[in-house]
Structure 1
Amino acid sequence: MTNGRDLRIDFFRGLALIFIFWDHVPDNPLAQLTVRNFGFSDAAEIFVFLAGYASILAYGRIYQRDGWLVSSIRILRRTWVLYVVHIFLLTLLMGIVFVANNYVDTRDMIQQMGLQHFVGNPQQALADELLLRFKPNLTDPLPLYILLLLALPLYLPLMLRRIELAVAASVVLYMMVPLYGWNLRSYEGGGVWYFNPVAWQLVFVLGGALALYNQRPQSPEQRPLSQQPLFILAAIYLIIAGVLTFNEKWPAVHAALVSALHLEGLYPISKTDLAPPRLLHFVALVYVVAKLLPRHSDWLNNWPAQQTCLMGRYSLEIFCLGVLLAPLADAANALAGDTWSMRIITALLGLGLMMLMANGLELNKRLGNGKPVAQTSKKLHIEV
């Protein structure tokens, strides 16, 4: 493995965190700009895919240098950190929601955040929380990440030796979902995991496979994009998915379009089970973006892109902050009468706080390392 860093990973991870925050603030106008409005997949796929990409790079290097046992211990240690963060995050989130609900009259924030199980049976809810079975709204990605990372030592050697076999095994496991309905149970009466780990593991594995593929020597493509059949097919699929998804804002128009194109078989497009049209859309999106935005270019040199990269570098901390900011923004909007201007203000203020936290973490790290604070270095190590 080479040590070169692809800053696109940080950028799109940071962008996914922004989108996740905006999407989780009810009736947020800026949520109309996120990726979920223009295709079948959304920021969740980006988050999981890049988590797999970063994990394979980081622990693959440790495996090659120190062996399976050391890499497994490092993975388990990181998994424990994520688990503790998850428990602490849930505690803070429930505290925020319960307090805010006392001041908001226009909606039931406890029900909105999926905390009825805790109100009705707090002892069982605490046990389910420790077992990753109780996952209030907004917190689902972290338990999924914990489970996927916990399984990484089992297939990391295969990933590093035979990528094709690892991906094939992941696809076979993914097929168990539509064939046999595999999923993990949630708390009693709570159904199954919202992000079915049996299905979503494929996104994580594909991220790791791309990370390993990019480490190989690549011969530059000589043909322009307009002459590459795979790129053209992927772009056409993205356009069709974008038109269909955008038209969902007008149900009558959407229904007529789906009927005219005989696409009824596409729906419903399950997010829980990562329906094939959704998975295909994300794979096409990754392929097209990778082709359109080359690794070595100046498009990441501007200030907004650098700030987004910085948030992506500290993805765990920024994700947790976004989860806590979403109900606070919703409560502030409710207290202000749910005006359009207030919704814009809280969305931008939340983004500003996320940027401020990322810069604070970077400053603290540089001071701790004794490095100059000025300029954000491009030679950053992978953090998962």
Structure 2
Amino acid sequence: MKRIEALDMLRGYALVCIMLDHMPLGVIRNLTLSNFTVFDAAELFVLLSGFLVGMVWVKVEERQGRRAAQWRFLKRAFKVWQALVIGAVLLALFSHLLYQLKMNHTAVWFQYSRWIVENPFGYIATVALMWMQPNLLDVLALYVLLIATAPVTVPFLLRMPFTAMAVSLGIWWLSEPLNAMIPNQREGQGLLFNPFGWQLLFFTGVAIGAFRDKIMPVLRPRTGVLNGISISILLFGLAIIICWRIGEPAKPVADILKQVYGSIDKWSLDGLRYISILAATWMVAVPLAPAFGWMSRTVLGRDLAEIGRGGLWSFVSCVLLSMWGDALDMTAPAGLNGFLLRLAIDVWVILALWISAALWLRREEWLGRIRAKLPHWI
């Protein structure tokens, strides 16, 4: 199936934002998505993941049948689970190494570095059973559950789309009490990324990917109206962000805005974050599509697309690099020199993420060269 470069670019951008957002002292993190909208890269990552699932599922089912599509995504869920476990081990070991080198860091909880040494089998078992989800990797636990249910939920969505989305909306409405029923380490609070809330965004992405050829002819004649609604939603979100940044002087305005949206809860995916990412999706997919298509053909766009194509490898790499960048940031001095050093660290981790993804995508090529140079008896 032909790849869509702009989607790969956006996946790469989401991973870069996730990495930078977990470096509290970073400089470029002030320019990431969450500084301009009420949602962040997590929503972008999950929506794009759902879109790709819907798009791939339809193609596989057309060519090989439903069983092949179901089996493909069961295997994908297993791979995501593997990435969660391996990533959790690498995260804990790397955190332990940083502490051994006297490099403090706040991106992850310090206890992981202790547990992996004091009780490695217990640590691995609790992650593998998904009783515990280390922070920075917890979105993978959500992804495991969503992909694992796809063999049942996606056929339901394809057969009865309106009913399926109504059920999804109802589950989202009851997401908090449902999540509290999931047994795990958080004692009655469920998973941090509430799967009953976030499934709505994921399956919205699946529906867009699967039915885009039917949806767009209906929506395009209403482009002007939808552009106006989308821009209004995004400007409303930007006003909220600006009020948060200004602080106390903007409190009267912030209070008025809050009467409209109520509260914003990332972990259960509140309504404003949901409609805001959908508004942004419309803007990117329709009025701004030529601009994003052009960006995907630039050098930066192609590099971000390589990060996006790195998939789970890129995700785990971005987690480890965010820890390293966070630790390096904490060694920077105050003042202009510290600012410039933190900026250089930001640039370095972005480049390192791209190099990591590029090496992974070309692994057959360079591994082949290495094998060719080894003695035949090895």
Question: Do both share a fold (TM > 0.5)?
Answer: yes
Give the conservation status (yes or no) of the 8 Å contact 1:199–1:274. Answer: yes
Aligned to 1:289: 284
Aligned to 1:209: 207
Rounded to whole Å, the distance in 1 between the matches of 2:113 and 2:126 is 10
Rounded to whole Å, the distance in 1 between the matches of 2:275 and 2:215 is 26
Aligned to 2:175: 177
What root-mean-square deviation, in Å, do the aligned CA atoms of Structure 1 and Structure 2 show?
A: 2.9
* Structure 2 residue 333 is the aligned partner of structure 1 residue 334: no
Rounded to whole Å, the distance in 1 between the matches of 2:352 and 2:112 is 31
Q: Which amino acid aligns with 1:277?
A: L
SS at match of 1:292: coil
Per-residue deviation at 1:157?
A: 1.4
Rounded to whole Å, the distance in 2 between the matches of 1:254 and 1:97 is 39
Gaps spanning 5+ residues in structure 1: where?
A: 370-384
Rounded to whole Å, the distance in 1 between the matches of 2:263 and 2:102 is 34
Rounded to whole Å, the distance in 2 between the matches of 1:188 and 1:218 is 42
* Structure 2 residue 226 is the aligned partner of structure 1 residue 230: yes
Per-residue deviation at 1:186?
A: 2.8
- Quick one: which of 274, 288, 293 aligns to 1:279? 274
Q: 1:14-70 CA deviation, whole Å, 9 max, x = no partner? A: 110110011011221111111111111100001011111112222332233333333
Q: Go from structure 1 to structure 2 and tell me whether the alpha carbon gap of 1:272 and 1:335 turns closer, same or farther (over 3 Å shift).
A: same
Q: Which amino acid aligns with 1:327?
A: M
Q: Which amino acid aligns with 2:302?
A: Q
Q: Which amino acid aligns with 1:246?
A: I
Give the conservation status (yes or no) of the 8 Å contact 1:25–1:330. Answer: yes
Matched ranges for 1:1-384 at <5 A: 5-104=3-102, 107=104, 109=105, 113-116=108-111, 119=114, 122=119, 124-177=122-175, 184-187=182-185, 189=187, 191-216=189-214, 218-219=216-217, 228-259=224-255, 261-264=256-259, 266-294=261-289, 297-337=293-333, 339-364=338-363
Q: Which amino acid aligns with 1:316?
A: L
Q: Go from structure 1 to structure 2 and tell me whether the alpha carbon gap of 1:51 and 1:114 turns closer, same or farther (over 3 Å shift).
A: same
Q: Which amino acid aligns with 2:315?
A: F
Rounded to whole Å, the distance in 2 between the matches of 1:86 and 1:231 is 38
Aligned to 1:379: none
Give the conservation status (yes or no) of the 8 Å contact 1:269–1:278. Answer: yes
Rounded to whole Å, the distance in 2 between the matches of 1:273 and 1:19 is 20
Larger helix fraction of residues: 2
Rounded to whole Å, the distance in 1 between the matches of 2:221 and 2:203 is 29
Per-residue deviation at 1:128?
A: 1.9
Rounded to whole Å, the distance in 2 between the matches of 1:116 and 1:42 is 27
Q: Figure out how many residues of one structure are paired with residues of the other and give that number.
A: 362
Rounded to whole Å, the distance in 2 between the matches of 1:197 and 1:223 is 35
Give the conservation status (yes or no) of the 8 Å contact 1:318–1:358. Answer: yes
More divergent stretch after superposition (157-166 vs 32-41) = 157-166
Percent of residue pairs identical: 22
Per-residue deviation at 1:118?
A: 7.1
Q: Go from structure 1 to structure 2 and tell me whether the alpha carbon gap of 1:98 and 1:236 turns closer, same or farther (over 3 Å shift).
A: same
Give the conservation status (yes or no) of the 8 Å contact 1:183–1:193. Answer: no
Q: Go from structure 1 to structure 2 and tell me whether the alpha carbon gap of 1:165 and 1:90 turns closer, same or farther (over 3 Å shift).
A: same
Q: TM-score, with normalisation over the residues of structure 2?
A: 0.86
SS at match of 2:362: helix
SS at match of 2:330: helix
Q: Go from structure 1 to structure 2 and tell me whether the alpha carbon gap of 1:214 and 1:85 turns closer, same or farther (over 3 Å shift).
A: same
SS at match of 2:192: coil
Rounded to whole Å, the distance in 2 between the matches of 1:101 and 1:44 is 28
Q: Which amino acid aligns with 2:351?
A: G
SS at match of 1:263: helix
Per-residue deviation at 1:233?
A: 1.6
More divergent stretch after superposition (242-251 vs 271-280) = 242-251
Q: TM-score, with normalisation over the residues of structure 1?
A: 0.85
Give the conservation status (yes or no) of the 8 Å contact 1:79–1:149. Answer: yes
Q: Go from structure 1 to structure 2 and tell me whether the alpha carbon gap of 1:215 and 1:224 turns closer, same or farther (over 3 Å shift).
A: closer
Q: Which amino acid aligns with 1:359?
A: A
Rounded to whole Å, the distance in 2 between the matches of 1:151 and 1:194 is 19
Q: Go from structure 1 to structure 2 and tell me whether the alpha carbon gap of 1:363 and 1:4 turns closer, same or farther (over 3 Å shift).
A: closer
